[in-house]
Structure 1
Amino acid sequence: MSTPIEKKPRTNHLELARRIIEFTQESGMATGDALPELQLARTFQVSRTLIRAGLNVLAEQGLAEHQAGRGYALLADPNNQELSHALPQGEEEELAASILRDRMAGRLSNSISASEIMRRYSISRSAAQKALSQLCEDLVLERGPGQSWLFRPLLNNLTALEESLHYRIMLEPEALLAPGFEADRSRLSLLRSSTESLLACAIEAFDIEQFRELDIGFHELIASSCGNRFIGDALLHHQRLRRLPNLLPMVSVHRLQESLREHLRIIEQIERGQLEIAADLLRLHLRLSAAQRPQTANRGIPQGLNQRR
């Protein structure tokens, strides 16, 4: 039986903390700026009590501070692209992550139920249902017959990764070419600066996790900027799937650095309004990524990843 999940911050408080961070980034705030409770409560249309809970989460993580008689102030640099990911996971998120890890390791079958989750992780039915709902929202699970939940395909083997890239080659360039494409200039600028900062690091200091967040953030930006809601929605759903554990560490750091340079060239063409050129560069970028992946015909799954289909 797995170890019970450690007590974590409430998910709604964490979500508010993340939204506050996004607000500081979008508003052009700087380190040391005040975080006014009343303004934030009006912006997010929630109570000041909830805002205070979100600010307390930021303070606990060293991202903000509370000064008696003066309120909260921002300690972190809002220009840091990875700021929102510095927060811990909530109770449901941590449990969902444990379920996903067990599935990826082959310790769970294709079908699970709330009762099985309750027994395995020593939790209440309410906690189990919330975790299952979280996994459903993350496109990991779907409702099965009766009280069962079925695992959806994951990016947990080389065939799935190849299929994912083929899907993206077909659809992502079309997102750029669809009428109405419009990217947020501030988000493009933030993405560019964060990408350039990572590229400036020595190869031995290259942060794989930071690359992963920048990579997904880049492709999410293209999806969310698409003028065709159906293409954009499909791509955003797929990017959420990419946020789950995958085989990214198998790719060389040299390829990851080159991938970031390709991102920068695409961003440059988007900023210039040259969307057809950007689409061509994006298609080439995805094909190069596919060519660098190990092929299923001659490479196996890395040791430690016991897959069950």
Structure 2
Amino acid sequence: MLSVLIPTYNYNIVPLVTAVQQQCSDAGIPYEIITLDDASANTAIHTDNKAINQLPNCSYNILPVNIGRSAIRNLLAKKAQNSWMLFLDADTLPTDNNLVKNYLPYLKEEPKVIYGGILYQPEKPAATEILRWVYGKEREALPADKRTENPYISLLTLNFCIHKDVFNTVHFNESIPNLRHEDTLFSYDLSRAKIPVTHINNPVYHLGLESSEVFLKKSEDAVVGLKYLTDHNLLPADYVRIAKAYNSLKKNHLLGAARLWHKVTAGIFKKNIVGKHPNLLIFDLYRLGYFCSLK
């Protein structure tokens, strides 16, 4: 009935797999948990994660070379033996003992996508990791009714169920650069194919908080990835808010002014973004300026 699919890279996923395996067993359903390591450089992680192979219906295998976020998800889906697939990111953990149980009523209906959502732990992290926590709590940890207002763009691919027939129609694009936004393109392709996305309140905790400097760099990479998608007409300019703002500036011949503005403000904005009290409006303005400065 259910294949739980977990891609990982340099992360100990034993606690996650152990928790989900117990939930699947308690639910009394046919299941498998397939984990693939995308050629992690940390060999100590390999040793830890190999314990997964001792758990019932669980497997852990290491890829010989790194293939990236899109390709590893597609490969996991190819290996899945069941009609319903639950994708979980490595740096997540169920918030309670009912993650699997709460998905089951939705797996008896027509093929579609079900997204359970995400939460961040309420305790503030270290000051050096505050940006990722603030951004996640404000922009990602949304209740189902709020996500339903924009069901496709609100889909994050770290905790969702999908029928294999749907995935055979819409899967992750492996031709794009490995620069983030593969989930954005996936959600857009679902919308084009008119695949329904159901939002429910069945979240996992996102545990993988990187430093503010690292998250800022990843955000810059994501802007580069987004520009690639819009430049190559894989995403419409109005699908993502920053791309829509960029397109508006371009139509009004204001890109030159925006580039100059970014050059002047970038240093000041960065100090706030990686500081103890990051402002998300400033973060948005920085990313927009960075988008405009790309050639």
When you count strand as a share of all residues, which structure comes out higher? 2
Q: Compare CA radii of gyration and give the structure with the larger one.
A: 1
When you count helix as a share of all residues, which structure comes out higher? 1
The normalised TM-score by structure 1 is 0.25
